């Protein structure tokens, strides 16, 4: 098995002022730390690219948008430092998306779990399909959605976040996600790409400076996330070492 397959893929393509970033991993588009870092770096690079006005974030395949953290890497965590390091990858990614000077549009073609829901929450406009169910399953493996919670709560509210978190085994439908503002629009799979492309191209025709100022307004009041999300990573890093988490992760992997 090649290192590329083990670590997943990341590719950026350009069309006019729209940059499309596509990530993928053979394990249901999950994120090992290296792939998280690569996506974070790409978002930061595109933020400085004056030829780009809009970023479209999407993943490979048809059934799963993102299944969150890599179970293999979670099981490989041996101490609190390693745990904090792994979960800080999501913290850095969400902060990069929040600080990015470009509007980020998500193309969600399938299910999203855990960190995948956090990534969707950190996008500024979200297209999804009727098959795009979502779930926060962290409690079921002995941890919680602590790093992504600020992004999820900001998008759907504390009550809906708590509903998702406490019903850790339950999938929430795409209709529920639309009603609770996690998704902005829903389109059938055959129409999704056209809808995303049309919207992104239209958005890219607007004044880039106006888009940047709008981005700052959208994320107003989140400056404290720079330290908050890293602190939350430390909490999760401790919990993942518990016997409960070890046993649960082994069962989920099987």
For residue range 198-249, list pLDDT tens digits in order.
Answer: 999 999 999 999 999 999 999 999 999 999 999 999 999 999 999 999 888 8
Distances in whole angstroms, Cα of residue 126 to Cα of each of 180, 184, 214: 12, 5, 16
Task: Look at residue 1 and tell me whether its pLDDT is greater than 80.
Answer: no
Query: What's residue 240's pLDDT?
Result: 93
Q: Does 118 reside within a domain?
A: yes
Task: Collapse the DSSP code of 254 into the 3-class scheme (helix H, G, I; strand E, B; otherwise coil) and give the result.
Answer: coil
For residue range 67-80, list pLDDT tens digits in order.
Answer: 999 988 988 999 99
Instruction: State the CATH number of the domain containing residue 96.
Output: 3.90.226.10
Q: Does 213 reside within a domain?
A: no
Q: Does 62 reside within a domain?
A: yes
Q: What is the domain count for the chain?
A: 1
Q: Does 84 reside within a domain?
A: yes
Query: What's residue 250's pLDDT?
Result: 82
Contacts of 142 (CB under 8 A, 6+ apart): 239, 240, 242, 244, 245, 248, 249
Q: Does 210 reside within a domain?
A: no
- How confident is residue 109, by pLDDT bands cut at 50, 70 and 90? very high
What span, in angstroms and rounded, lies between the C-alpha atoms of 247 and 253? 10
Q: Does 235 reside within a domain?
A: no
Q: Which residue from 111, 124, 98 is spatially nearest to 199, judged by alpha carbons?
A: 124
| Residues of the domain holding 65 | 3-205
- How confident is residue 252, by pLDDT bands cut at 50, 70 and 90? confident
For residue range 128-149, list pLDDT tens digits in order.
Answer: 999 999 999 999 999 999 999 9
Q: Does 184 reside within a domain?
A: yes
What span, in angstroms and rounded, lies between the C-alpha atoms of 18 and 205? 10
Q: Does 149 reside within a domain?
A: yes
Task: Look at residue 12 and tell me whether its pLDDT is greater than 50.
Answer: yes
Task: Collapse the DSSP code of 21 into the 3-class scheme (helix H, G, I; strand E, B; otherwise coil) and give the result.
Answer: strand
């Amino acid at each position: 098995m090649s290192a590329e397959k083990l670590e997943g893929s990341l590719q950026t393509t350009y069309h006019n002022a729209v940059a499309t970033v596509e990530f993928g991993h053979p394990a249901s588009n999950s994120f090992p730390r290296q792939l998280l870092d690569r996506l974070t770096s790409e978002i930061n690079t595109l933020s400085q690219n004056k030829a780009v006005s809009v970023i479209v974030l999407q993943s490979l395949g048809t059934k799963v948008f993102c299944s969150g953290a890599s179970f293999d890497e979670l099981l490989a965590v041996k101490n609190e430092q390693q745990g904090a390091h792994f979960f800080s990858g999501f913290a850095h990614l969400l902060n990069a998306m929040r600080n990015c000077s470009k509007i980020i549009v998500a193309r969600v073609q399938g299910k999203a779990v855990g960190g995948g829901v956090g990534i969707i929450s950190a996008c500024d406009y979200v297209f999804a399909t009727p098959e795009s169910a979502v779930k926060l399953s962290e409690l079921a493996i002995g941890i919680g959605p602590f790093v992504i919670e600020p992004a999820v709560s900001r998008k759907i509210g504390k009550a809906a976040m708590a509903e998702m978190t406490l019903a850790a085994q339950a999938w929430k439908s795409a209709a529920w996600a639309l009603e609770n503002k996690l998704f902005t629009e829903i389109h059938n799979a055959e129409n999704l790409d056209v809808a995303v492309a049309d919207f992104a191209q239209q958005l890219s025709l607007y004044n880039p400076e106006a888009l940047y100022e709008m981005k700052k307004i959208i994320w107003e009041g989140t400056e404290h996330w720079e330290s908050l999300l890293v602190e939350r990573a430390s909490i999760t890093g401790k919990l993942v070492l518990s016997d409960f988490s070890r046993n649960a992760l082994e069962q989920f992997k099987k």
